[in-house]
């Protein structure tokens, strides 16, 4: 059964004429006849009494509302897709890591709302692994996360690098490690650490770095909010390795201190992830462009280095 068969059937039922149905469908009368005959063959019963006018049989009467419903659903689907491709979608859902939500995302959101006032934004702050999962599950349209090539290597995913930033040591202003401008890993390994919970890219990055240094990571506590990190670290000897964007305003807090590690290559890469099919939808493509403009290289990650 094909859509054009149903459309021909409805046209004949409405006009009671194969000739008028052909004009309405902009096809030949013989084509209409063939489509009706094929439909009747599939259903196994005649749909019309053929005479001076074409009138519905009992089977045709029973079939009519179902054919109308199928064609209405098809037209609704075509209209919905057309509106979507024109940028008329009710909402756009984004998942982003905490530091991006707190520091960089607000101007992107504000600009997007100005450009697409009819699209409601839904933003969820999640760890990288969870954000990528909800993207793959179709619950969000884009994810801004710390890059993990093991999770972003799928063929359907589009991965756009946004920026790379250093990872720094956060500690109490009275901590013994403040004597260093670049903290040696051997000294860093002597103190208990506060780390992100499982599922956060930063936890994995820190663990991998300690493994490369062939040193044990002493985990004293797992947290998932930046405010909690600061509150715990300022209390005593615990330290935390955090991205620079999460520490941009720490210089205003006299109870906290920030230092580099003696491994200048310790950085994290932040990427925007979506799927190629989603980029056919104008609001999603526009949000991606805004993210590149406002989160990318022109932001100047070097400005983050001024916090130390």
For 36, residues 6+ apart whose C-beta sits below 8 A from its C-beta are 5, 8, 9, 12, 18, 47, 48
Q: Which residues form the domain of 257?
A: 164-267
Classify residue 140 as exposed, middle or buried by CB count within 10 Å of its CB (0-12, 13-18, 19+). buried
pLDDT value, residue 227: 87
87 has a pLDDT exceeding 70: no
Range ranked top by mean pLDDT from 77-81, 190-194, 262-266:
190-194
Q: For residue 226, what is the domain's CATH number?
A: 3.40.190.10
Per the structure, the count of domains in the chain is 3
Same-domain check for residues 130 and 109: yes
Same-domain check for residues 168 and 263: yes
For 293, residues 6+ apart whose C-beta sits below 8 A from its C-beta are none
Q: Using CA atoms of 155, 161, 162, 168 in order, give the dihedral in degrees to the nearest 10.
A: 120
Same-domain check for residues 171 and 240: yes
Q: Give me the mean pLDDT over the 234-253 stretch.
A: 87
pLDDT in tens, 149-200: 777 777 889 999 999 889 999 999 999 999 999 999 999 999 999 999 887 8
Higher-confidence residue: 108 or 250?
A: 108
Neighbouring CB atoms inside 10 A of 176's CB total 12
Domain boundary among 25, 55, 85: 85
pLDDT band at 94 (very low <50, low <70, confident <90, very high): very high
pLDDT value, residue 303: 45
Domain boundary among 64, 85, 106: 85
What phi, psi does 154 have (nearest 5°)? Answer: -65, 145
Same-domain check for residues 159 and 279: yes
Same-domain check for residues 179 and 240: yes
Locate 33 and state its tokens: 């006849």
Same-domain check for residues 168 and 243: yes
Per the prediction, the chain carries an average pLDDT of: 87
pLDDT band at 88 (very low <50, low <70, confident <90, very high): low
304 has a pLDDT exceeding 60: no
Same-domain check for residues 218 and 70: no
pLDDT value, residue 257: 93
């Amino acid at each position: 059964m094909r859509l054009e068969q149903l459309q021909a059937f409805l046209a004949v039922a409405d006009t009671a004429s194969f000739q008028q149905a052909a004009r309405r469908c902009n096809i030949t009368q013989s084509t209409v006849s063939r489509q009706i005959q094929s439909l009747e063959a599939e259903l196994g019963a005649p749909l019309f009494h053929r005479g001076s006018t074409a009138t519905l049989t009992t089977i045709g009467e029973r079939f009519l509302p179902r054919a109308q419903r199928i064609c209405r659903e098809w037209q609704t689907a075509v209209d919905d897709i057309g509106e979507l491709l024109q940028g008329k979608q009710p909402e756009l859902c984004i998942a982003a890591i905490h530091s991006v939500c707190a520091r960089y995302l607000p101007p992107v959101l504000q600009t997007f709302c100005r450009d697409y006032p009819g699209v409601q934004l839904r933003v969820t702050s999640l760890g990288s692994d969870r954000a990528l999962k909800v993207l793959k599950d179709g619950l969000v349209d884009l994810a801004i996360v710390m890059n993990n090539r093991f999770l972003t290597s799928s063929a359907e995913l589009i991965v756009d690098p946004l920026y790379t930033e250093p990872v720094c040591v956060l500690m109490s202003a009275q901590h013994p490690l403040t004597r260093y401008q670049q903290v040696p890993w051997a000294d860093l390994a002597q103190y208990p650490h506060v780390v992100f919970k499982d599922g956060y890219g930063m936890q994995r990055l820190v663990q991998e770095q300690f493994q490369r240094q062939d040193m044990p990571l002493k985990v004293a506590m797992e947290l998932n909010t930046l405010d909690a990190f600061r509150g715990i670290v300022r209390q005593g000897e615990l330290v935390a390795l955090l991205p620079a964007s999460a520490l941009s305003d720490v210089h205003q807090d006299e109870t906290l201190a920030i230092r580099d590690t003696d491994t200048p290559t310790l950085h994290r890469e932040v990427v925007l992830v979506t799927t190629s099919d989603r980029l056919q939808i104008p609001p999603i493509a526009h949000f991606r462009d805004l993210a590149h403009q406002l989160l990318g290289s022109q932001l100047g990650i070097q400005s983050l280095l001024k916090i130390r």
